[in-house]
Amino acid sequence: MADEMKIGAYICNGCGLGDRLDAGQLETTATRDGKAQICQQHDFLCSEAGVKMIQDDIDNEGVNRVVIAACSRRAKTDAFNFDNVSIHRANLREGVIWVRPDTDDMQETTQEMADDYIRMACAEAKYSKIPEKSGEQGINKNILIVGGGVAGMKAALEASKAGYPCTIVEKSGALGGATAQLYKKIPTKAPYTDPEDNGVDEMIAAVEADSNITVHLNSTTTKIAGAPGRFAADISAESGSTKTKDFGAIVQASGFTPYDANKLPEFAYGKNKDVVTQMELEALAKEANGGAIKRPSDGKEVSSVLFIQCAGQRSKKEGHLEHCSGYCCSASIKQAMYFKDQNPAIDTTVLYTDMRTPGAGGENFYRSGQQKGVIFTKGIASEVVDGASPTVKFKDLILDEDIDLEVDMVVLATGMVPNSGQPTRSELTDQENEDKESEKAGEEVEIRVDVESILNLDYRQGKDVPHMANGFADSHFICFPYETQRTGIYTAGPTRRPMDSYQAMEDAVGAAMRAISEAENAGLGRAAHPRVGDLSFPTFRKEGCTQCKRCTVECPFGAINEDEKGYPIYNESRCRRCGTCMGACPVRVISFENYSVDTVGQQIKAVDIPDEFDEKPRFLVLACENDAYPALDMAAQNRLEYSAFTRIVPVRCLGSTSLSWITDSLNSGFDGIILMGCPSGDNYQCHFVKGSLMAQERMSKVGDTLESLNLEKERVQTFEISITDIHRVPQIINEMAETIEQIGMSPFKF
Amino acid sequence: MSDMNTGMVEKYRNNFLKEVEANVEEGEWVKMCMQCGVCSGSCPLGPHWDHPPQELFMMIRAGKRDEVLESTSMWMCTSCYNCIVRCPRELPITHIMHGLAHYATRLGIEPKNQPTRKFSQLFWDNLAKNGRVNELKLGISLYFMNGFVEGIKTALGMAGIGMGMVKTKRMNPMEILGGHTVKDKKGFQAMIKKAQELEAARVDN
Amino acid sequence: MSDIVATNQTILVVGGGISGMTAALEAAEVGKQVILIEKRPFVGGRVSQLYKYFPKLCFPTCGLEINQRRMNANKNITVLTMSEVTDLQGEAGNYTATVKISPRYVNANCTACGACADAVEAEFENEFNYNMDKHKGAYLPYNMAQPQRYVIDPRMIGTDDAQKAKDACKFDAIDLDMQEETVELKAGAVVWATGWRPYDANKIQPYGYDRIDNVITSVEFERMMDPFGPTGGKLVRPSDGKEAKNVAFIQCAGSRDVNHLRHCSRICCMASLKQSTYVSEKFGDEADVSIYYIDIRAIDRFDDFYQRVQDDPNVKFIKSKVASIVENKENGNPVLNGVDTEGYNRYANEHDLVVLAIGMEPSVDKDTFPIELKVNDEGYIEQDEANGGVFAAGCSSDALDVNRAVQSATASALRAIQVVNRVAQAEG
């Protein structure tokens, strides 16, 4: 439905704007250049009266594009909050008067800055449509939970309690996962002194009694297609039958596989039967069931046992795990207590380099272990010598001595390897990528790795959630632990990060919350983190598409599939609305209703470029709205000054930068272009994963174009900005101004 | 009492920690140490200990029986209680140190020439006779603790203080003939004897 | 204030730090009515006072910007700053909270233009910077404070400066007669996210925090690094303003200690490792960092960061709990006394600056909760059915790092939603 566009421009005179700027001139600019049909001024636009003035125009005059020429889009959002219209902010306060000195000789350029921002806001208004949800999916309250361990069960129980039906798909023949194998578990509540019952049976009973939870045992998901709100999962049983069910969101709690201790021959594992892993000790403890634990080799009751911590972990050696698994210190204390509780005379020693028992409960448990007589020795084991009884050779770091200790049993505290499935294409090695590229285009691409997929996502970019460091399917973010690179799929438990079963259950409750939230919001067409609530979504002009597949490949979230002919299929609810696809498209056929090549491009074209004799250059700054734009606002808040010739356009992500914006600005006569985005690299900050990186790659190609046009490369520069770079952002702009002064104005001015 | 020593070695064969827990005052606290070293760092006589308290605890746990019991370290403890106040695990370190020293003595393997050990013995012998410390005799035995020549030298050196004490009635030269006793001397000595019996019985368990 | 809508289907979130904000957002974004109560004049809590997070060495305001944007855009959340819950009665599905709202003396007209601050001269101790510097009597708590509204320090009320501030405001935003208000709010469930406070370092007598200038706490050190902090981002000593290149970190200051906090505060090992990178970043090869520890608790994926710091040749690790600190009166250098337990080496080490990795305790004393709650000995709120519809989130539940606090808050939001969904069902 084409809505008849009516632009209302509202100019605020408060906060010094009326003193520093000629509001009359701004009105003329808005109506004459910006084509605003209505234009009004107010001395205090964010006041109740000012807001009412705008609302009246919306209600009675049919204004549906509201241009607010006042403070930054980040300020007064509660006041300037109007339904069913699109709002465009000309940042005259933080963007103009706060960064320019209040002197007579600066008045002219300050006014020019303000006039341009009004033109830009009106241009943006003109080319924006009010986004409406796609209607691709409704609200589907069913949650799919992959993995039936305690994390999966907990997610199901809590989601069900909130009114959301769940389906658990469990690969093995029973629920309970790794925790079911534990004789007892680390205590979860005060006074934290003794091992607790593992609680799995009660949990399984609760799951089975809950009519809102369906369980599929001996099953896996052989295919998951669709998107949040309309995931279609094929659940296949070992017996061969397959059911397809629809879900709103997915929780992946696929747990972990214990590290293969056969990789530790130095500890005589495999050779000496009395060298066991922590999981194997749990089995022995279960067998003993409160009685004496017996050696596997000869059935003798264990009278002395030594635990080697960090076995095959925290190590850069080949075949070892680099990470720490977090729970094994407490687990060894617990297991030492199995022995001590049964017979205090049993010698138990824990050999560690750092005892990791954090938090309120942790230290109590450590003290309780000591109370029961468990000995803690700081030392490093170099070898376990095979024999009738194993002998541990270690260096005691406190006494600075080498010691050989013969014990009845050695327990290796080995670590967790997450069951996170297959790596995505971007994680493959160069060789694997090469192998793939030599395959015919358009063919079904199989990623040749010998790991089974957990989810079997029918996504072009890979069957599982991308891995972060050490193979864990985590989100990479500290503040947003659940936001993986796959919208609507939330990992929980050791799949995401090494943890004990209590933390895994808590984690699962959080993942369930996210899944519920996404199921609800996807149904309403609303985007997920970070552009929460955004109704816009990408569409493309099929006639112009060349099937180059750049959008499908570059999408950080795997939101785009391909049809048989190679045209992209956009899955709106998988999309985070970053616009990376839009920036990638060489023929510019992709756009969002309120964010397109035009909404930015026309802003650029709306800027009034003085001719070369006026000696007033123009600098374009494309600033990512997440970090760079706030930094610019805060620089203004601190009254740090930058060049009057700056024109800033906020973008959703630097990855959405279309090369046409660069060429358009250069052609229009802009002298310099600065791109500001979030830090990339291993510790990337970009909420959309690799925006800055992609912008830099694209800009490197621009370098060649610039040379062929006889333009200096320095005219286009890309910077990685943190939100705290408050002093740096004005510096960057001012340095560009200096550079342009040196190399001269752009020859493309008229 | 080297018979007792042999007996203990046999009984606790390779488990010195258990031996300490059973026989040393507050010995059951040794396992609670987390090797932080605050006690060692806080001790004002620290530099004079071969092995500071924290290291002793680790040595006990590692089974280094002879090294610990024959060590002069715990004899250096002056009961300042700095360690107990700061210990994050609340170990009664001062008491354990004295406990170790005492146990070593009972086993007969204490370091014979350690000065505070010698002084302790002298003090005890002096006190146990009459239930009161005979300061004159104690002073004299202390001076002569390391031999006759040493004794004369020290006594002459301390003469000034001694005279001062006599003048201010802090010390009575007549004590050389016997000194004060408690009211019920016989009862006192019976009490000491009984306590020693009880202690021996406890240990022999 | 009379226009706040609060019913038995409302979720009350007590505490507007990162945990409270997360819980509020999760609930509001599935359509629940949420009221967020925050004691300070701004949301963001203690993370807004950090310079960087571990292990990514990224900036807290990055995540806060997103969360604050989500909050501003969500009409389901009502934020009450300057507010505290003084009483809480009821049970799951039916709570009544009494909330005391202290006067900010600035109303919603404020545009954060800063005219009042320019007009005022009086200065007061700045709690945001742990009293290491002062702010003006009319001030914005920090650059990104939300709500973006100035505050008048109550200590300025009744003075001439207060009037100057009022006169400078063109929007009639300053109301010097604002009074404390008390409101009663109904709620179905309560998320308790009151966070933590640093343990009082004055109580650790041997470390001389109260007597030696160059002994500071980790939270104070963190503020120093902020370019908008009390030293403008310079790493200098309090006594003489000299650069502090030789820095000692003392772990477990007040934690794992029956004389102070019995628990392990979890974050301090990682915090010191992170802060050692600050020193290295500032001074390169001239940095000389010593970390005195009992156990380095860089747990699970954080261990990578520990390994990275271990590779830094300018950082030493000494397994020792420092016994005492004295001051070298000639140069103000703190001298650390102790024993390196790995092999028994006594030391009396002089440093430019000593940072106590101070422990974390719950910010609400366990006897002062406005409602009876099951709390463990350390003061942390337990997960217990007896707590009814009150759910702990973040550091009120355990000593947690930011990632786990957000995890906890997300989970608590679901628990609160379960309660109000039951109410909704019952009420038809």
Local confidence band at B119 (pLDDT 50, 70, 90 cut-offs): confident
Tokens of C272: 């010191």
Mean pLDDT for all residues in chain B? 87
Per-residue model confidence as pLDDT tens digits over C341-379 = 998 889 999 999 999 999 999 999 988 999 999 999 999
The pLDDT score that the predictor gives to residue A428 is 57
In this structure, what DSSP letter does residue A347 have?
Answer: E
The one-letter amino acid at C186: K
**What whole-number distance in Å separates Cα of residue C109 and Cα of residue A78?**
12
For residue A426, pLDDT beyond 70: no
Q: SS3 for A275?
A: strand
Distance from CA of A354 to the nearest CA of C (A): 5
**Interchain CB distance below 8 Å, A683 and C57:** yes
Chain C residue at shortest CA distance from A378: C342
A689 chain-C contacts, CB cut-off 8 A: none
Give the total residue count for chain B.
Answer: 205
**Burial of residue B129, with CB atoms counted within 10 A of its CB: 0-12 exposed, 13-18 middle, 19 or more buried:** middle
Which of C 134-193 lie inside 8 A of B, CB atoms?
none
Report how far residue C321's alpha carbon sits from residue A175's, in angstroms, rounded to the nearest whole number: 46
pLDDT confidence tier of residue A446, bands split at 50, 70 and 90: very low
Contacts of residue A366 in chain B, CB cutoff 8 Å?
A: 34
Distances in Å between the Cα of A342 and the Cα atoms of A347, A366, A376, A563, A630 are 12, 18, 19, 64, 61
- Which ipTM value was assigned to this complex? 0.95
Mean pLDDT of A484-505: 95
Q: Is the pLDDT of residue A390 over 80?
A: yes
Chain A residues in contact with C343 (beta carbon < 8 A) = 397-400
Q: How far is C244 from chain A (nearest CA, A)?
A: 23
pLDDT at B8 over 80: no
Q: Which residues of A219-229 are buried (b: 16+ CB within 10 A; e: fewer)?
A: bbbebbbbbbb
Instruction: Indicate yes or no: CB of C29 within 8 angstroms of CB of A356.
Output: no
β-strands C189-192, C10-14 pairing: parallel
Cis amide linkage into residue A530, ω under 30° from 0: yes
Q: Which residues of C touch A359 (CB under 8 A)?
A: 263-264, 266, 398-400
String of DSSP letters for C265-315: -SSHHHHHHHHHHHHHHHHGGG-EEEEEESS----GGGHHHHHHHHT-TTE
Nearest CA in chain B to A397: B58
Q: Which residues pair with C348 in a beta bridge?
A: C337
Checking A163-166 for CB contacts under 8 A at 24+ apart, the result is A163/C421, A163/C425, A164/A212, A164/A248, A164/A512, A164/A516, A164/A519, A165/A141, A165/A212, A165/A213, A165/A214, A166/A142, A166/A212, A166/A213, A166/A214
Single out the residue of C397, C215, C310 nearest to residue A189, CA to CA.
C397
- Best to test chain A binding among C22, C50, C64, C65 (most A CBs inside 10 Å): C65
pLDDT of residue A1: 39
Report helix, strand or coil for A710: coil
Which segments of A60-212 are extended strands (E)?
65-70, 86-91, 143-146, 166-169, 184-185, 196-197
pLDDT at residue A432 in the model: 54
**Nearest-angstrom CA–CA distance, C327 and C331:** 8
- Alpha-carbon gap, residue A221 to A216, rounded angstroms: 10
- Contact between B61 and A371 using a beta-carbon 8 Å cutoff: no
Per the CB < 8 Å rule, is B38 touching C322? yes
What mean pLDDT do residues B81-90 have? 95
H helices of B131-169, in order, are 135-143, 148-157, 159-167
- Name the amino acid, one letter, at C400: L
Asked if C59 and A723 come within 8 Å (Cβ–Cβ), the reply is: yes
Confidence (pLDDT) at A429: 54
Beta strand C196-198 pairing with C134-136: unpaired
Average pLDDT over residues A247-257: 97
Q: What's the gap between Cα C106 and its chain centre?
A: 24
Which candidate, C136, C166, C159, C140, places its Cα nearest to that of C151? C140
Average pLDDT over residues A580-600: 94
Indicate yes or no: CB of A399 within 8 angstroms of CB of B35.
no
Residue A133 has what pLDDT?
84
Angle between helices A728-743 and A628-637 (to 10 degrees): 100
The CA distances from residue A295 to A274, A408, B67, in Å, are: 6, 7, 34
Q: Which pLDDT does position C65 carry in this prediction?
A: 96
Q: Which domains does chain B have, with CATH numbers?
A: 3-111 (1.10.1060.10), 115-199 (no CATH)
Contact A370 B61 (CB under 8 A): no
Confidence grade of residue A114 (pLDDT, cut at 50, 70, 90):
very high
Q: Does C159 touch chain A (CB under 8 A)?
A: no
User: What does pLDDT average to over chain A?
Assistant: 93
| Nearest CA-CA partner of C316 in C268, C349, C356 | C349
A322 and chain C in contact, CB less than 8 A: yes
A479 to C402: CB separation less than 8 angstroms, yes or no: yes
Task: Going from the first residue of chain C to its last (428 residues), give the mean pLDDT of each consecutive group of 10, the final group possibly shorter.
Answer: 82 98 98 97 97 95 96 95 96 96 96 95 96 96 95 96 95 95 97 97 96 97 95 95 97 95 95 97 96 95 94 96 96 95 91 97 93 93 94 96 97 98 89
Segment C314-333, tens digit of pLDDT: 999 999 999 999 999 999 99
| Torsion of the alpha carbons at C144, C145, C151 and C156, rounded to the nearest 10 | -70
DSSP state of C155: G
Instruction: Name the residue in chain C with its Cα closest to that of B82.
Output: C323
Distance from CA of B153 to the nearest CA of C (A): 35
DSSP code of residue A32? I
**What pLDDT does A262 receive?**
95
Query: CB C321 to CB B41 under 8 A?
Result: yes
Nearest to C258 among B37, B55, B90 (CB): B90
Nearest CA in chain A to B29: A371
- Angle between the A150-161 and A501-523 helix axes, to the nearest 10 degrees? 40
According to the model, what pLDDT value does residue A442 have?
A: 41
Q: How many Cβ contacts (< 8 angstroms) between chains B and C?
A: 64
C contact residues 340-369, partner A, Cβ 8 Å cutoff: 341-344
Q: Is C203 on the interface with B (CB under 8 A)?
A: no
Beta-bridged to residue A411, according to DSSP, are A276, A307
Residue carrying the six token digits 């930094």: A631
**Interchain pair B36, C341: CB under 8 A:** yes
C11: part of which helix (H) or strand (E)? strand C10-14
Radius of gyration, alpha carbons of chain A: 31
**Within an 8 Å CB–CB cutoff, is residue C349 touching chain B?**
no
Chain C hits for B50, Cβ within 8 Å: none
A694 C-beta neighbours (distance < 10 Å), count: 24
List of chain A residues whose C-beta atoms are within 8 Å of the C-beta of residue C262: 363-364
Between helices B53-61 and B16-23, what is the axis angle to 10°? 120
Tokens of A627: 């970090």
Q: What is the mean pLDDT of residues A93-118?
A: 96
Question: B-chain residues within 8 Å CB-CB of C256?
Answer: 34, 88
pLDDT at A443: 42
Residue from C58, C261, C272 to probe the interface with A (highest A Cβ count within 10 Å) = C58
Predicted local distance difference test score (pLDDT) of residue A441: 43
**Does A720 contact chain C (CB < 8 Å)?**
no
C323 CB within 8 Å of a chain B CB: yes
Question: Distance between CA atoms of B75 and B97, rounded to whole angstroms?
Answer: 8
From chain C, pick out residues whose CB is under 8 angstroms from the CB of A514: 26, 410
- Asked if C360 and C401 count as a contact pair (C-beta separation under 8 A), the reply is no
All residues at 6 or more sequence positions from B177 whose CB lies less than 8 Å from its CB, including other chains: none
Residue A430 has pLDDT above 60, yes or no: no
The C-alpha of C255 sits at a distance from chain B's nearest C-alpha, in angstroms, of: 8
With contact defined as 3+ CB pairs under 8 Å, the chains touching A are: B, C
